[in-house]
Structure 1
């Protein structure tokens, strides 16, 4: 294990908030692209393109990504979790709104907070922090219940459930990175493992299930896909995994709770999605919970 800095530098906070802004918009871009490309092809192809970019970036810097360092097992595990996470997200977006999906995904910091004490004993939770977790999970349950009675959306609960599953898988990915040899691997190698495994798994799943290949790559689809593959999956994830290597996971996770706010606003402005009072209340309670956990 490499030593982590306990306090975030201002530059790290700025990078985190920029990543959160991009991740919030990303759900909107993925939802919009579903009218022209299936969810599994979209997720798998963006991993493939981003993986090629990571490899080219590493090669240009002279990084030896394929040197033996004992990280293969951890890389395959993280890649499988990563693939499952995005399968849940992209399929779930067919049934629920982008603004709801982004809220449920950000249960992930609580998965990290629950799991980190098993990896680093110094991050065990106090009674106040457990109270924060209960508050946050209560908020998510409150928001989740709306999906069962939403008019005109009989399957919204299914999309919401996939969002929760994606959160568990994302949190599991972060824990897998911290608990294995990936903890000391370069950020580029950590990301490439996940992109390579997910590209194979998701594209394979798309082919096996008979998901149709997009009939045409319109300028709109190219723009939406390019934003996801290049800006989000390549650039922002590379920054995120570098931060995970440098700083305590629970300290980073608190800032990711700004992403649902960005996602809610982006969904409303770009897709015209409604934001219910229940969902806003859940978001406020979720933020309060994360403050109690990480104060």
Structure 2
């Protein structure tokens, strides 16, 4: 019986690079889409609807491709944990965006690669960090501290209150930690051998249940006003971000070297800050710009590929 070997993963070519830049732009725009809809759809309810619609789309996609989602393969407990962490991430993002700007949220959220590197270092064998990665984490955390200092000294225009703004910034960091914890759970458990569709479905379906239940408990399960902008934003978040972009990302990971793709993650907060300024009229100080630059450099260093030693 003959078997077909999987293609070897290779360095990103021009096609992969263009796709990654597009994905980073999509992810960077997400904060703007959420913030522009918070006044029409309460934040936790908005997050729950996003996960619900996207989970149904992933279920339909898996069914059309014959990918089993409900087979007992020992991933249930890890999948439930990943889904709860995914829900926690988006609670922090959606509530945080009611207190801070989309630009600031983009920077704090995308400290996640640094927390991921720390988590993998501690919990996953063979993921030990190198000296350059430790340096990158120090640089990124210095940038994060400077950004917090800027929020305290310069104030937060989005919230009109320094304390509220700092709370929103802190929620951005907590969202990054929850995102990193989700990644570590996926990598350190049997989910690592599961299909990408099933792993994504766990996160979306469980988070949909958690978020919608929380929205009911908080009295947010309603829509303030139905506007074209709100509907377009929800469609963008559920279809473009949570469904299409994640599937494209997983597809790229099956064909290209993951560490080379991850380097592009520093572009996402760059897009996030740019969209916040251009589309929402957000402003920032020189101190915050320096802080964002430090975070971006730190992310790039954390994701720097290891050098191959010549034999």
Deviating more after overlay: 23-32 vs 213-222: 213-222
Aligned counterpart, 2:249: 240
Following TM superposition, by how much is the alpha carbon of 1:292 offset from its aligned partner in structure 2, in angstroms?
2.9
Q: Distance in 2 between matches of 1:73 and 1:111?
A: 23
CA distance in 2, matches of 1:125, 1:207: 42
Mean Cα deviation higher: 153-162 or 274-283: 274-283
- Find the partner of 2:28 among 11, 24, 30: 24
Distance in structure 2 (CA, Å) of the matches to 1:261 and 1:190:
28
Query: Hey, what does 1:61 align to over in structure 2?
Result: 65
CA contact (8 A) 1:147 1:153 kept: no
The residue aligned with 1:153 is 161
Distance in 1 (CA, whole Å) between partners of 2:215 and 2:139 is 38
In the alignment, what sits opposite 2:267?
258
Residue equivalent to 2:41: 37
Please name the residue that 1:49 is paired with. 53
CA distance in 2, matches of 1:4, 1:207: 47
Which of 139, 142, 152 is matched with 2:143 structurally? 139
Shift of 1:135: 1.1
Highest Rg: 1 or 2?
A: 2
Instruction: Check conservation: 1:107, 1:164, Cα contact below 8 A.
Output: yes
Deviation at 1:42, TM superposition (A): 0.3
1:61-88 per-residue CA deviation (whole Å, 9 max, x = no partner) reads 1221111211111111110110000000
CA–CA distance in structure 2, aligned partners of residues 275 and 4 of structure 1: 46
TM-aligned CA distance change 1:101 to 1:4, over 3 Å = farther
Identify if the C-alpha distance between structure 1 residues 68 and 212 changes in structure 2 by more than 3 Å, giving closer, same or farther. Answer: closer
Q: Does 1:281 align with 2:290?
A: yes
- Compute the RMSD of aligned alpha carbons: 2.2
Unaligned ranges ≥5, structure 2:
1-5, 305-311
Corresponding position of 1:117: 121
Separation of aligned partners in 2, 1:145 and 1:48: 37
For 1:143 and 1:71, the matched residues in 2 are separated by 39
CA 1:110–1:247: 2 relative to 1, 3 Å: farther
Specify the alignment match of 2:307 in structure 1: none
TM-score, length-scaled by structure 2: 0.87
Equivalent of residue 74 in structure 2, options 48, 70, 74: 70
Instruction: Give the conservation status (yes or no) of the 8 Å contact 1:109–1:254.
Output: no
Q: 1:120 deviation in Å? A: 4.5
Distance in 2, Cα, partners of 1:247 & 1:165 = 30
Say yes or no: does 1:204 pair with 2:213: yes
Runs of 5+ unmatched residues, structure 1:
none
Q: Residues of 2 paired with 1:6 and 1:60: CA distance?
A: 26
Distance 1:248 1:87, change over 3 A: farther
CA distance in 2, matches of 1:137, 1:42: 30
Q: Deviations over 1:157-194 (max 9, x none)?
A: 00000000000010111111111111121111111101
Aligned residues: 293
Q: Would the aligned equivalents of 1:4 and 1:248 in 2 still touch at CA under 8 Å?
A: no
- Contact residue 109 and residue 250 of structure 1 kept, 8 A: no
- Which secondary structure state, in structure 2, belongs to the residue aligned with residue 176 of structure 1? helix
2:222 corresponds to: 213
